[in-house]
Structure 1
Amino acid sequence: MQGLKRALLQIWRLTYPYYVTREETQIRIWPFGTFRLQERWVALSMAVLVIGIEFAQVAINVRLSYFNRDWFNAIQSKDAVAFWALLFSVFCFWAAIYVGSAIIQYVIQSFLRIRWRAWMTRHYVDRWLGNDTHYRMGLTGARADNPDQRIADDIDQFTQTTQTLAISFLSAVSNLVSFSVILWNISAVFTVPGTDWHVPGFLVWGALIYSGLVTWLTHLIGRPLIRLNFEQQRREADFRFSLARLREYGEQVALLSGGAAERASLRDRFGALIANFYAIVDRRKRLSAFTVSYQQVNVVIPYILVAPYYFAGQIQLGMMTQTAGAFARVESTMSFFITFYVTLADYKAQVDRLTSFDAAMERAEAMRAQTRLVVAPGAGAALQVRDLALGLPDGRRIAAVRDLVLEPGETTLLTGPSGSGKSTLFRALAGIWPFGEGTVRTPAGATLMLLPQRPYLPMGTLRMAATYPDASGRHDDAAIREALEAARLPHLVTRLDEEAPWAQTLSLGEQQRLAIARALLAKPDWLFLDEATAAVDEPTEAALYRMLRQRLPGTTLVSIGHRSTLDAFHQRRLDMTPRHDGVFVPTDLRTPVAAQ
């Protein structure tokens, strides 16, 4: 019972935000024109219409139940006039209304699902990418594997399955109430077959006991499917991600002759996927054997229960078929859990995945809110660091900066051994590193840009890659070509509209030069280069630094690098040196060669 309450609460938390959102949207209703409404009113209106149509269809089925009784009575009595009158005046009329309402319900339900999925997708993408939550989730070690699948697949399946189950459940409840009344009234005078015992509503109680027993047995057989389905989705996503990652790093794998190792890894992952799938097949085989047998028995059970009363002359053929139909309706609605067991098992896995994704984002957001590392604009033009202590996710302290001031216009080189916290310090200055404490005051009104060692290249055209993350289109083709030529990429200037997997097409050195072209287009006030030219040769690196000084005279450069040749292009040098406790601190040095 506790598990059911927890599952319902999870579903509520995932569903509730959409139906109370105050976001405005624009809808067009023919022939009334276009309106602006809050999305919640659109969602609630469509949900009410879908539910209302479902209840109307139940009422039509109740009416057709009485038609069925009268029609079979006419057949038994060989009353041709009543037979044809009932067919055309009752059945055809209500059947046409049922078909028309089903089409309208499908259209409204589809529009509701599309809008709900679109809203949830925007909501999750905004949360995931907002305030660098996606980055912090990777630092927390939170259980949120394959966010692409959760946003693309799980949201789609969640909205679809929630709608299907909700409508089916409401239909089951309304059918249960309506046909239980019919069944109770019909069996009011029945006795238990073979006895003189009179049990009010005998057939209703029989349907309840029968379906309850079968539901319990179904749950015992199918319960492991919830865990197996969750595991299958995770293993499918892991295998798909491994293939995508292999495509991304195909060159590196080939250079290391890693084909055999990758084949072994893929075989292991796919083998685990197949093993779990066989476990699902085995469990579903048992469940299917039980449920299919149960469904076959259901065809005759109602007639077996009612037959003694028909053969005894207590009821006519029409009432027999109506009773059997009502019993089947009541029993099937009570067996809702059995009918949708496999669907419910899949649904529970979807809910768990979205809930764990939510929880991971909440932990990442809480990490940002609780961090004692403050990065905020200062009052002056310098970048100031006070009492900064940087740690790692496991709690170890890595670097400390007691008092550091970087003046505008003063080029600075940060050096030190690997693992001394250089890149971590840059992340802290950029405001994305959550593990630490202290204060960073960025220059008032200044724009900052950080170029990592391995640039991110989005999918799309080369123009998109060159101007990323600026999507405003303010850079014309001439400016982009000029930036590419200045970054020593003249062979790319004719390929601006070409779409390609640029992260695989370009070498790392070309990718780094493309990032330099971005900086030329962005013209930031402060440019941080985290070994951003480490993959190019020294003469090209020197040419790039000279070009940056010429084309961005108002930009302050701060670099991380290991090559001694970089000294010539920086006026100041900070070297990360270890203290007695192993924590690295920046030591201020001056290079003997003036910056060029």
Structure 2
Amino acid sequence: MGAGLIFIILINTFGQIKLNAWFGSFYDALFQRSLPLLANEVVAFLVIVGGLLCLVVAQTWLQETIKVRLREWLTHDLMDQWLKPGRAFHLSQAGEDGANPDQYIQADARQLADMSASLVIGLFHASLLLLSFVGVLWALSNQVVFSYDGRTFTIPGYMVWCALAYALTGSWLTWLIGRPLIKLNAERYAREADLRFAIMRINETVASVAMARGEAHERRTANGSIVSVIDLGRKLANGHSRLTWITSGYGWLALVVPILLATPGVFSGSLSLGGLMMVVGAFTQVQNSLRWFVDNFPGIADWRATLLRVSRFRNGLAYLDLEPNPNPDATGTGGIALAPHPQGHVSFDNAAIGHADSPLTFATSTIELKPGERALIETASDSDRALLLRTLVGLSLEGSGTILLPEAKDVMFVPARLDFRIGTLREAMIYPASSTDLDDTLISSALVRAGLMNLLGRLDDKERWDRALQAQDQQRLMLARLILHRPAWVLFEDMAATANEQDLRVFRSVFARELLGTAVIGLGACTALNGFFERKFRLARKLETAAPPVTFDAAPMQARQRIEAAE
């Protein structure tokens, strides 16, 4: 497509040269008052313009299609970089630099692709016109004859030098006045992203806002982002206004400057009316090519600001890959070693999780959990539990010791705050598998087993399932996902904390039948599941001297099966 576009621009440039020559012949025919010559020139004009029209349409289609392809490539590239394992999470923890990835991937990528294609193609076209018409204008400069003290002379390339001086003066003034727009445009995108995030956050919490009657407070909070955007908009408006003095004045003067510069040739009689029109046309093409910078400086400033944002986002993602130890000087160790267990078990060997000043540790140095076992790991706070979960999934490795886990495909993590992707119910059920891996029969059976018969006819409904379903139905939907995927290991936070008796009976029944061989690690208190776990451990800070030691519930596997089968 790029080669085709270059070919079309080349032919288009040739057509522009022919059109400029036609103007000379047309005005000469008009000056001679010859109707046959004038008719021939009109026919020639229609042929040239018809060809140019076809070329312009083809060039426009190719240019716009290249923009789409470029955006497709850039968006996929940014998504691939962003959604590498762990990167999206680490970016969310990176403060202001990691805010609003949607702005980079959607809006900035689109604008960068569009502007890059437009500017590059425009610059190439302008450069080609410049190279073509400089020769024409240089030759026509010989017709501009000066008279002085009874003598006549010409200045080689006179009109070319005038065009260069005129364009360079305008370009320098444009750069001088418009340079601050680069920084303002970069800041504008950041502030626009903050405003959009504030609106999205309100939209995500509309229910809690309505219940608390917090609309006025949210309005006041959002007003800060709005004021910030408007203030910057005023600065941009003032900057563009100052720049318009140069760009518009430059354009208006260009209408008369070439005529005034060529006047000596007209007065001396060496330049006919047709020749004057050819000189003016060639001068206009040359200075239009040279003033490409003047005309496009606001766009260049906008493009450069967008390019810097996207480049910073993409390059920054590479630095988010987790290091063995985020703060080696503080811990004096290489961080927690997280690796696969050769037998598919879960083991903790001298694990100290978190900062060295107050790490989370077990009472015993070595713990090993085998397939089919059920263990509860209690923590003193939600933050400790969250740190343990982040460590187990490899999102935080600060600390020391070794943790061995089964293969990732054998483990399902169930967070306390359930999250379902926006899409159809089928997609929410099979996530993260593909639609070809699991058929509707298995999905329907899992829904029935989890007590969600009312959802059987809604597999193709697209909803925000985290809003469309009550909390208990969401937990049952997660249970249906576990039935569907049949993982070898399940790690969950206290998902039974808000469950009623009926939900707990279904939960126990599923793990006594369909998921009987599934190993379970619970994180948190899980008081509603007393008797469900065979082993219990306490993960506490070293400074917590009163932390109880590891305890074991000696209920054998056979007793567990009989109890849960009876329930």
- Corresponding residue for residue 330 of structure 2: none
**CA separation of 1:420 and 1:243: change in aligned 2, threshold 3 A:** closer
Query: Given the alignment, which residue of 123, 137, 144 partners 1:183?
Result: 137
Does residue 87 of the first structure (1) align with residue 42 of the second (2)?
Answer: yes
Can you list the C-alpha shifts for 1:351-397, whole angstroms capped at 9, x where unaligned?
112111112211113648998544332221421233444337xx976
Decide which moves more: 571-580 or 377-386: 377-386
Instruction: Label 1:337 to 1:186 Cα distance change in 2 as closer, same or farther (>3 A).
Output: same
**CA contact under 8 A between 2:143 and 2:265: conserved in structure 1?**
no
Report deviation, 1:546: 4.2
In the alignment, structure 1 residue 298 sits paired with structure 2 residue 261: no
Amino acid at match of 2:367: L
Instruction: Return 421-430 or 322-331, whichever deviates more.
Output: 421-430
Q: Kindly provide the amino acid, as one letter, of the partner of residue 201 in structure 1.
A: G
1:158 is aligned to 112
Provide, for residues 206-259 of structure 1, a one-character-per-residue CA deviation record: whole Å limited to 9, x for no partner. Answer: 221222121121122222222222222222222223222222222222233322
1:590 aligns with 2:552: yes
- 2:360 aligned with 1:399: yes
Q: Compared with structure 1, are the counterparts of its residues 551 and 91 closer, same or farther at alpha carbon in structure 2 (3 Å cutoff)? A: same
Match of 2:97 in 1: 143
Task: Give 1:445 deviation, angstroms.
Answer: 8.8
- Structure 1 residue aligned with 2:121: 167
**Residue identity matched to 1:83:** L
Aligned-partner SS, 1:529: strand
2:510 corresponds to 1:547? yes
1:74 is displaced (CA, Å) by 1.8
Aligned partner (choices 496, 500, 524) of residue 459 of structure 2: 496
Question: Given the alignment, which residue of 307, 311, 316 partners 1:360?
Answer: 316
> Which residue in 1 is equivalent to 2:62?
108
Uncovered stretches (5+) of structure 2, i.e. residues with no partner? 327-333
Cα distance in 2 between the residues matched to 1:122 and 1:586 = 51
Q: In the alignment, is the contact (CA less than 8 A) between 2:535 and 2:554 conserved in 1?
A: no
Distance of aligned partners of 1:192 and 1:241 in 2 relative to their CA distance in 1, 3 Å threshold: farther
Alignment equivalent of 1:564, drawn from 505, 527, 534? 527
Q: What is the alpha-carbon distance in structure 2 between the residues aligned to residue 271 and residue 515 of structure 1? A: 43
**Which secondary structure state, in structure 2, belongs to the residue aligned with residue 340 of structure 1?**
helix
Q: Is the 8 A contact 2:25 2:274 kept in 1?
A: yes
Seen in structure 2, the aligned counterparts of structure 1 residues 79 and 587 have a Cα distance that, compared at 3 Å, is farther
Letter in 2 for 1:70: S
Residue type of the alignment partner of 1:80: L
Q: In 1, Cα distance between the equivalents of 2:536 and 2:325?
A: 34
The 5 Å alignment of 1:163-562 reads 163-188=117-142, 190=144, 199-365=155-321, 367=323, 373-391=336-354, 398-400=359-361, 402-418=365-381, 421-443=384-406, 447-537=410-500, 540-541=503-504, 543-562=506-525
Local SS of the residue matching 2:25: helix
Q: Which residue of the other structure, out of 74, 83, 87, is the alignment partner of 1:133? A: 87
How far apart are the structure 1 equivalents of 2:13 and 2:324? 52
Shift of 1:54: 0.9
Secondary structure, aligned partner of 1:554: coil
Calculate percent identity across the aligned residue pairs: 28
C-alpha distance in 1 between matches for 2:9 and 2:269: 37
Change (3 A) 1:562 1:469: same
Instruction: Tell me if structure 2 keeps the 8 A contact 1:453–1:533.
Output: no
In structure 2, relative to structure 1, the CA distance for the partners of 1:435 and 1:319 (3 Å cut) is: farther
Cα deviation, 1:382-423, whole Å, max 9, x if unaligned, reads 21233444337xx97643465331122221111121156323
Corresponding residue of 1:17: none
Contact 2:385 2:524 in 1 (8 A): no
Residues 276-325 of structure 1: CA distance to partner in whole angstroms, max 9, x if unpaired? 22221222122223322221121111112112321331200011011111
Please name the residue that 2:30 is paired with: 75
**Letter paired with 2:261:** L
CA contact (8 A) 2:338 2:404 kept: yes
Deviation at 1:177, TM superposition (A): 1.6
1:29 corresponds to which residue?
none
Change (3 A) 1:130 1:251: same
Name structure 1 gaps, 5 residues minimum. Answer: 1-45
In 2, distance between residues paired with 1:532 and 1:515?
A: 10
1:409-464, Cα deviation, whole Å (9 max, x unpaired): 22111112115632322232223335445433223697000000112211122222
Contact kept, 8 Å, 2:452 with 2:477, in 1: the verdict is yes
Distance 1:59 1:396 in 2: 75
- Between stretches 279-288 and 111-120, larger displacement belongs to 111-120
**Pairwise CA distance, 1:155:** 2.0
SS of equivalent residue, structure 1 residue 527: strand
Q: Kindly state the Cα deviation for residue 47 of structure 1 after the two structures are TM-superposed.
A: 0.7
Residue 122 of structure 1 is matched in structure 2 by: 76
For 1:524, the aligned partner's letter is P
> Which whole-Å CA distance do the structure 1 matches of 2:260 and 2:221 have between them?
58
Aligned length: 547
Matches within 5 A, 1:30-41: none
TM-score by length of structure 2 reads 0.88
Contact 2:247–2:294 at 8 Å: present in 1 too? yes
Give the 3-state SS of the residue equivalent to 1:207 in structure 2: helix
Residue pair 1:215, 1:337 contacting (<8 A) in 2 also: yes
> What SS does structure 2 have at the residue aligned with 1:386?
strand
Asked if 1:98 is matched to 2:86, the reply is no
User: For residues 197 and 541 of structure 1, what CA distance do their matches in structure 2 show?
Assistant: 104
C-alpha contact (below 8 Å) 1:187/1:201 kept by paired residues: yes
Distance 1:79 1:337, change over 3 A: same
Deviates more, 1:467-476 or 1:307-316: 467-476
Q: CA deviation at 1:559?
A: 0.5
Between the aligned partners of 1:290 and 1:446, the Cα distance in structure 2 is: 63
* Higher-Rg member (1/2): 2
Number of the residue aligned with 1:34: none
Give the counterpart letter for 2:482 in structure 1: A
106-115 vs 184-193, greater mean Cα deviation: 184-193
**8 Å CA contact retained: 2:472, 2:499:** yes
1:5 aligns with none
Determine the C-alpha separation between the residues in 2 that align with 1:368 and 1:334.
Answer: 54
Q: What is the CA–CA distance in structure 1 between the aligned matches of 2:52 and 2:181, rounded to whole Å?
A: 36
Deviations 1:458-493 (CA, angstroms, capped at 9, x unpaired): 112222222222222444444334433443444433
CA contact (8 A) 1:576 1:586 kept: no
Distance 1:483 1:273, change over 3 A: same
What residue number does 2:331 align with?
none
Name the CA shift for 1:264/1:544 in 2 (closer, same or farther; >3 Å): same
Mapped to 1, the partners of 2:146 and 2:400 lie a distance apart of 78
1:341 aligned counterpart, secondary structure: helix
Work out whether residues 400 and 585 of structure 1, in 8 Å CA contact, stay in contact via their aligned partners in 2. Answer: no
**CA separation in 2, counterparts of 1:546 and 1:362?**
46
> What is the TM-score when the length of structure 1 is the normalising length?
0.84
Query: Are the equivalent residues in 1 in contact too, given 2:496–2:528 (CA < 8 A)?
Result: no
DSSP 3-state at the match of 1:364: coil
Q: What is the distance in 2 between the residues matched to 1:368 and 1:142?
A: 24
